[in-house]
Structure 1
Amino acid sequence: MRVFVTGASGWIGSAAVDELLAAGHEVVGLARSDASAASLDAKGARVHRGDLDDLDSIREGAAAADAVLHLANKHDFDNPAVSSLAERNAVRTIGDVLTGSGRPFLVASGVAGAAQGRLLTEDDRSPFHGLESPRGGSENLALEYVDHGVHTVVLRFAPTVHGAGDYGFIAALVAIAREHGVAGYVGDGANRWPAVHRSDAARVTRLGLEKAPAGTLLHAVGEEGVATREIAEAIGRGLDVPVTSIEPQDAQKHFGWIGRFFALDVATSSARTQELLSWTPTGPTLLQDLDSGSYFRA
């Protein structure tokens, strides 16, 4: 299958490209920079130049593909409206190109915010609709295209996709702990963050492309929820700094932009995803990854 991948050189995307190539798929990766293009070329993927704002390039890449895997996102947490607009425009552009074709369209989303305080399952629909909502309501927008002959599958990734080389949320928490000299958690630290190893996230992506029916919500989640206090304690061990509670009203001041995420309780099941795809997470757990020391090396 010829798969057009946006975000092909990103943290999840680069692992997904490796997984797709190993399974015999042809990959065409969207590349914004010369470095990204060179990395894709070295793997044996084809390079398609452009970025998330270049809708003509995205349209061209989608039109020439058997399937589209949309993983790109600006993740501009200081300017979320910019990220949301770009995401919504890209999803609409790809959906319009694929309308009536029956071709697979896999869209990256997340579990944070979909439900809190109870176990989130694949039956839970996102409450986010429209441009003003997180990610521009792109998950629900993409699912609308199922009624227009597009084989849409939503990939909901855990907020923590961890592994050696991670530069996401966990790396940010480590940097904050190093800066403040303490590893913090919010309140009593009982709130839970789901997690998945990068290799498992890539495998769910490939299996979702090959097996998931149209309209499916997949949860790329290896652990239903890791208590944030346990995450802070692992960071404290790794940096040899004290571990302390941060009052909820001070979370934004202490953690910055990540504070509003680290206070969430978003335990998430992937039981149905595992059954549907015959997938079992095999990568290290989040705490194992933290205790391996990879997050604390200069």
Structure 2
Amino acid sequence: MRVFVTGASGFVGSAVVRELMGAGHEVVGLARSDNSAAALRAAGAQVHRGDLDDLDSLRRGAEAADGVIHTAFKHDFSNIAASGVIDLHAIEAMGSVLEGTGKPFVTTSAFLVERGVFGTEEDAAHPDSVAPFRVASEEATLALADRGVRASVVRLPPSVHGRDDGAFVPKLIDIARDKGVSATIDAGTNHWPAVHRLDAARLYRLALEKADAGTRVHAIDDEGVPFHAIATAIGQGLGVPVVQVAGAEAAAHFGWFAHFIALDLRASSTLTRQRLSWKPEQPDLLADLAEGHYFEEGRRSIL
């Protein structure tokens, strides 16, 4: 299958590219820079120049493919609502040229279930989710199932971990290193679901190959790791104390990242495992932290 992949040089997307090629698929990756294009060629993929703002380029890439995997997202936390609108327009553009073809279209979402709910694949996107800016994109993807597209959504957890991770876990480590302590908010009894990037990449491939139209796919290995266990692992990795920060002081200690540290999410992937015969094989989050690569000198978060 000739597969058009957006975000193909990113942390998740680059693993998806390798997974697809390892399974015998032909990959065409979207590249907005010379560096991204070079990385794709080095991986053995073809290059399609453009970005999420170039809707004509997205349409051309999708139209020429047998299937599409959309992993790109502009993580501009200074205006995240605008990033959600860009994502929605990108999905609408690619979906418009896939209508009536029966081709697979796999997009990326977050955990959009109602806060405090143990989320399953059957839970529709909820405006009170932790990422309301992605609700419209998920709904637009699933609506394509009624227009002749085998559309599905992969919901990623807060921590997609593994070597070269530059997001949430490295941000926690950066804060702990800078403050000299690894902290939780209050007792840290909240939870983070997690998945290894290589297990997530394999799930994208399985969704492309087998997911039914209009389904949600949960990329979940750890259903919910207690945050105090994550903080403890970071404290051990850095050799710093683990402390509790009162909720009223969280913003002063963690800055803008306090919102994410306070997330309390638990979710299941039972239906995903049954439907797609997916079983995570890589280390879980705490085992990945114990391997030590997150604490290598010079490693920092890009957030």
Give TM-score, length-normalised by structure 1: 0.95
Q: CA deviation at 1:142?
A: 1.1
Tell me the amino acid that sits aligned with residue 102 of structure 2.
G
SS at match of 2:58: helix
**1-structure distance, mates of 2:51, 2:250:** 34
**2-structure distance, mates of 1:198, 1:135:** 20
Report Cα offsets for 1:258-294 as digits up to 9, x if no partner: 2212211111110111111111111001111111111
The gaps in structure 2 that reach 5 residues or longer are 298-303
Query: Corresponding residue for 2:263?
Result: 264
Q: CA deviation at 1:134?
A: 1.3
Report Cα offsets for 1:142-162 as digits up to 9, x if no partner: 111111111110000111010
Query: Are the equivalent residues in 1 in contact too, given 2:109–2:155 (CA < 8 A)?
Result: yes
Query: Are the equivalent residues in 1 in contact too, given 2:16–2:201 (CA < 8 A)?
Result: yes
Q: CA deviation at 1:20?
A: 0.2
- Percent identity, aligned pairs only, is 53
RMSD: 1.5
Matches within 5 A, 1:102-117: 102-111=102-111, 113-117=112-116
Please identify runs of 4+ aligned residues in structure 1 that moved more than 4 A: none
Query: Are the equivalent residues in 2 in contact too, given 1:128–1:137 (CA < 8 A)?
Result: no
**2-structure distance, mates of 1:259, 1:268:** 21
Query: Corresponding residue for 2:210?
Result: 211
Q: CA deviation at 1:133?
A: 3.8
Q: Within the alignment, does 1:178 sit opposite 2:188 as a pair?
A: no
**2-structure distance, mates of 1:17, 1:244:** 40
**1-structure distance, mates of 2:9, 2:221:** 23
**2-structure distance, mates of 1:282, 1:155:** 18
Q: Within the alignment, does 1:125 sit opposite 2:124 as a pair?
A: yes
Matches within 5 A, 1:156-167: 156-167=155-166
**2-structure distance, mates of 1:253, 1:60:** 47
Query: Are the equivalent residues in 2 in contact too, given 1:158–1:221 (CA < 8 A)?
Result: yes
Query: Are the equivalent residues in 1 in contact too, given 2:153–2:217 (CA < 8 A)?
Result: yes
The gaps in structure 1 that reach 5 residues or longer are none
**1-structure distance, mates of 2:52, 2:239:** 40
Matches within 5 A, 1:1-298: 1-111=1-111, 113-128=112-127, 133-135=132-134, 137-298=136-297
The 1:136–1:83 alpha-carbon spacing in structure 2 relative to 1, beyond 3 Å, is farther
Greater CA drift, 73-82 or 202-211: 73-82
Tell me the amino acid that sits aligned with residue 158 of structure 2.
P
**1-structure distance, mates of 2:135, 2:218:** 20
Q: CA deviation at 1:136?
A: 5.8
Report Cα offsets for 1:182-236 as digits up to 9, x if no partner: 1111222111100001110011111111111001110011110100010001011
The number of equivalent residue pairs is 295
The 1:25–1:128 alpha-carbon spacing in structure 2 relative to 1, beyond 3 Å, is farther
Query: Are the equivalent residues in 2 in contact too, given 1:116–1:267 (CA < 8 A)?
Result: no
**2-structure distance, mates of 1:74, 1:136:** 15
Tell me the amino acid that sits aligned with residue 87 of structure 2.
E
Query: Are the equivalent residues in 1 in contact too, given 2:102–2:150 (CA < 8 A)?
Result: yes
**2-structure distance, mates of 1:227, 1:67:** 37
